[in-house]
Amino acid sequence: MKYYILFGPPGAGKGTQAGAISKKYNLKHISTGEMLRAEIAAGTELGRQAKELIDAGSLVPDSVVEGMIENTFNTYKDVAGFLLDGFPRTLGQASDLDQMLARRGEKVNAVISIMIKDETIKQRLQHRAEIEGRADDANEETIMNRIRTYHKQTEPLITYYKNAGKYHEIDGECGDIEAVRKAMLKVFRGIDKLLERQVVLDNALFDQVQKLAHDSPRLRMNYDLRNSEEDQSQRMINVMLPGTKTAIHRHNLSSETVMLLRGQMDTVFYNDKGVEMQRIHMGGDTGVLGVNIPKGQWHTFEVHELSIIFMAQDGPWSPLSKENML
């Protein structure tokens, strides 16, 4: 089974775009918002509890939505996978989802994010209230609360999934609904090709990752070589384009091995004050093909031309914490 997350603020167009993708890739579309609205309409106990929170623009408890998600995973067996819309919405839900999938021997395959500005959220929700009559779209105070809830609780997921090398972003204002759909299908095609090619690490695979890096606002893309998030090692291919910015960071639990497969780039070492201490140029005619970055060493990468590296570290992956970034 494949597990995709359709991410974005309220009004980004997730529900509008989900149909085309789920049909093309035979995915079961799960919208937690729609499921909750169905519970309210049916007058169930769960619906009664959720209504007040939804009408105020707040989130319902994690356990409620997680129960609905797991039920749906258990119910649909004849699909190629699931397209999650509106879930996860908090870091807690994201980590619970990782655990839920790990128990099934599965993982999140990719996150496709549709981004729009706050002002656009407001306009779209007001417009949607006129058409659909949703109480949580209707008044300005509720809308502002949903925008605040999004920034505070949901936006941190972007970093979570970026660090996992699973995040792909689309500009939700790049044109009309059809233009956004085309952009989404393009990203999906790229991801789908990648997922098909998990055994041979060849030029065709690198070219696919390279295309996704070009489409990414971060100008780089990871290709994860692990079996699951619980793996006791970290192994990945990283395609980086000139202009990509990597924070000065360190890994406190492991040294890191970086081998250059294509291109030219520098690994730069810093002291605790962020002063550059050593610059190792890799590629070109230097004869330097890799570096072993000691545990705890502050470092970053500067890319001179499109570069592809293989990176490896000990221990399971976890997101970089603030004290490990300068």
Question: What residues are annotated to the active site?
Answer: 14, 89, 128, 134, 146
What is the dihedral angle through the alpha carbons of 118, 143, 21, 203, rounded to the nearest 10 degrees?
30
Q: Are 325 and 270 in contact (CB under 8 A)?
A: no
Residue 146 interacting with ligand AMP (CB under 6 A): yes
SS3 155: coil
CB nearer ligand AMP, residue 83 or residue 258: 83
Supply the DSSP symbol for 237: E
Of 4, 25, 82, 87, the one binding ligand AMP (CB under 6 A) is 87
Of the candidates 157, 158, 166, 323, which has an alpha carbon nearest to the alpha carbon of residue 236?
166
Among 9, 13, 33, 263, binds ligand AMP (CB under 6 A): 33
29 contacts ligand AMP (rule: CB under 6 A) = no
Backbone dihedral angles phi then psi of residue 313, each to the nearest 5 degrees: -145, 160
State yes or no: residue 138 binds ligand AMP (CB under 6 A): no
Q: Does 54 bind ligand AMP (CB under 6 A)?
A: yes
Q: Does 191 bind ligand AMP (CB under 6 A)?
A: no
Residue nearest to ligand AMP (CB): 33
- Nearest distance from residue 137's CB to ligand AMP, in Å? 9
C-alpha span between 65 and 32 (Å, rounded)? 7
User: Bridge partners of 311?
Assistant: 236, 258
Are 218 and 209 in contact, with CB atoms under 8 Å apart? no
- Residue found under tokens 């809830």: 149
Residue 323 has φ and ψ, to the nearest 5°, of -70, -10
Q: Mask: binding to ligand AMP, 91-130, rule CB under 6 A, as x and -?
A: --x-------------------------------------
Q: Tell me how far apart the alpha carbons of residues 48 and 73 are, in angstroms, rounded to a whole number.
A: 24
Q: Please pick, from the candidates 22, 32, 234, 307, the single residue that binds ligand AMP as defined by CB under 6 A.
A: 32
As a residue count, the chain comes to 326
Binding to ligand AMP by residue 81, rule CB under 6 A?
Answer: no
Q: Which of 2, 51, 89, 220 contacts ligand AMP by CB under 6 A?
A: 89
In the complex, the smallest distance separating the C-beta of residue 188 from ligand AMP, rounded to whole angstroms, is 20
Query: Rounded to an integer, what distance in angstroms lies between the CA atom of residue 240 and that of residue 247?
Result: 14
User: Binder to ligand AMP among 6, 30, 60, 268 (CB under 6 A)?
Assistant: 60
Q: Applying CB under 6 A, which of residues 27, 30, 65, 111 lies at the interface with ligand AMP?
A: 65
Q: How far is the CB of 148 from ligand AMP (least distance, A)?
A: 12
Biggest distance spanned by C-alpha atoms of the chain: 71
**Judged by CB under 6 A, does residue 9 bind ligand AMP?**
no
170, 112 in Cβ contact below 8 A? yes
Nearer to ligand AMP, 125 or 205 (CB): 125
CB of 129 to ligand AMP, least distance (A): 12
Q: Report how far apart the first and last C-alpha atoms of the chain are (Å, whole number).
A: 39
- CB of residue 6 to ligand AMP, shortest distance in Å: 10
Quick one: which H or E segment has residue 236?
A: strand 233-240
Question: Nearest distance from residue 20's CB to ligand AMP, in Å?
Answer: 18
Residues that bind ligand AMP (CB under 6 A): 10, 32-33, 36, 53-54, 57-60, 65, 86-87, 89, 93, 136, 146
